[in-house]
Structures are given as structure tokens and as C-alpha cells.
């Protein structure tokens, strides 16, 4: 069963507007971590933001914020004031458990295109 | 700040050949992960090492093997290469006892099998 689901294969946003990328997850663990990575066309995986399952506040990092709704098992990424350089593939990922190896399970990704 | 180093960055091989990918983790990081990302796919976990011991294993073919050395660098050995092995291979490292458990990814090795 898919553990991380990103239902938006592609998204378009106008420059300077905000955009929300959806991510839902499935786990029976009480302790887990949720990550968002950006992958531009050059291929590297760039860490954006992290949310721990016990964190009560939504994580924020500059223009990135994570809308964490634990009961709904969703961890949507919000990018404010989109820039042309935000055009890339975005992956949501989960790490189950606190110290169970720590491997990441990725969603299918969402390709974001920012229009001028 | 030092990042994860992977070499080579690009590799072209023929079918049935072998390939060795190298990963140098961030200093003082004790865990290394290998991921495979096929064209248009999400990264898939292959294998991980903690303190030079294999800690977890994912969908890694039997033709592949990996190890972590005393200096913590890791190598992924791939034999009898197939066309389907063409992918971007990432190494990531992590310092397990850090409260913030981010995995830092290397730039990847793009393997093309002809």
C-alpha cells in the first residue's frame, strides 16, 4: 500500500502567488517524521522543511510552511510568494519511527511550474 | 559547510558490465543511505549502513552489493548491468544521534546503461 501519496502530478502557479502541494501519508507508528524535498531539473535533492509527529506547531522555513494535520494524516507544503526559481519537482517523504534505520519513503512527486 | 560527495557524477556502461559508485558522507555522520531514482520516478531506498554495518535493506537487486568502510565512505557495486539499471543514484548521510534527523543528499550519480 502506498504510504505517501501526492495526488497532484503537476501544478501551475503565477509568480508571487502562494501555492499548496498536497501530501497524505499512512503509518501506524506514533513517532515519525515528514520531509519535503525540492528536485530541480539538475537532479539534486534539496531539503526544504521537516515536521516531527510530536511537533505541535507547524514547521516554517522562510517562504515554506508545512500545514500538518495529524488526524487527517496530511502534510501539505505551502510556498508563499512563488518565484520562477521554484519551478521544480517536489517530493514529500516520511521516515517511520525514531531510530528504525531512518530510511525515507517518498511520494510520487508534484511538478510545480511557476508562470511569470 | 561540507556536503555529501558522490563520484563519479556521470557514468556510462554497457550491458553486463560492472559499475562502482562511491559516496563520502558529511564528516561525523554515522549513517549512509543509497537510493535509486529511475526516470520520472520517486527515489527508492536500496540499502543503508550504520557504523559500518548494514542497518536496513530495501529493493536492492542481488546483482548489487554495498559496504561502508572504516573511514565511513560507502561504495555501491553493481554487476551484470541491465538497461533498467539506468537511473540517478543518490547517497544520503545522517548523524543518528542528532535530534534533528535530516538526511543530507549528495548530488547523485547518473548511470546510463547502453
Render pLDDT for A47-86 as a digit per residue (tens, 0 to 9): 999 999 988 899 999 999 999 999 999 999 999 999 999 9
Question: How many angstroms separate the CA of residue A115 from the nearest CA in chain B?
Answer: 22
Render pLDDT for A18-29 as a digit per residue (tens, 0 to 9): 999 999 999 988
Give yes or no for B99 touching A (CB within 8 A). Answer: no
Task: Sort out which chain B residues have CB atoms less than 8 A from A108's CB and list them.
Answer: 42
Q: Dihedrals φ, ψ of B113, to 5°?
A: -110, 120
Render pLDDT for B78-100 as a digit per residue (tens, 0 to 9): 999 999 999 999 999 988 766 55
Bridge-based pairing state of the strands B19-24 and B74-78? antiparallel
Q: Reduced to 3 states, what is the DSSP secondary structure of residue B83?
A: helix
By Cβ distance, the residue of A33, A43, A91 closest to B108 is A43
Amino acid at each position: 500500500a502506498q504510504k505517501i501519496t501526492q495526488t497532484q502530478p503537476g501544478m501551475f502557479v503565477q509568480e508571487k502567488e502562494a501555492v499548496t502541494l498536497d501530501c497524505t501519508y499512512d503509518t501506524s507508528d506514533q513517532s515519525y517524521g515528514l520531509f519535503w524535498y525540492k528536485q530541480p531539473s539538475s537532479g539534486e535533492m534539496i531539503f526544504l522543511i521537516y515536521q516531527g509527529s510530536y511537533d505541535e506547531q507547524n514547521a516554517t522555513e522562510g517562504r515554506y510552511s508545512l500545514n500538518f494535520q495529524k488526524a487527517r494524516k496530511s502534510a501539505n507544503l505551502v510556498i508563499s510568494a512563488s518565484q520562477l526559481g521554484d519551478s521544480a519537482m517536489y517530493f514529500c517523504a516520511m521516515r517511520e519511527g525514531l531510530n528504525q534505520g531512518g530510511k525515507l519513503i517518498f511520494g510520487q512527486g508534484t511538478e510545480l511550474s511557476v508562470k511569470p | 559547510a561540507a556536503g555529501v560527495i558522490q563520484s563519479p557524477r556521470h557514468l556510462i556502461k554497457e550491458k553486463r558490465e560492472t559499475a562502482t559508485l562511491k559516496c563520502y558522507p558529511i564528516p561525523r555522520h554515522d549513517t549512509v543511505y543509497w537510493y535509486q531514482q529511475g526516470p520520472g520516478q520517486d527515489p527508492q531506498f536500496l540499502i543503508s549502513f550504520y557504523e559500518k554495518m548494514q542497518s536496513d535493506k530495501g529493493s536492492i537487486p542481488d546483482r548489487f552489493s554495498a559496504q561502508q568502510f572504516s573511514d565511513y565512505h560507502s561504495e555501491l557495486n553493481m554487476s551484470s548491468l541491465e538497461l533498467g539499471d539506468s537511473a540517478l543514484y543518490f547517497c544520503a548521510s545522517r548523524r543518528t544521534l542528532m535530534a534533528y534527523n535530516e538526511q543530507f543528499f549528495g548530488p547523485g550519480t547518473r548511470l546510463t546503461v547502453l
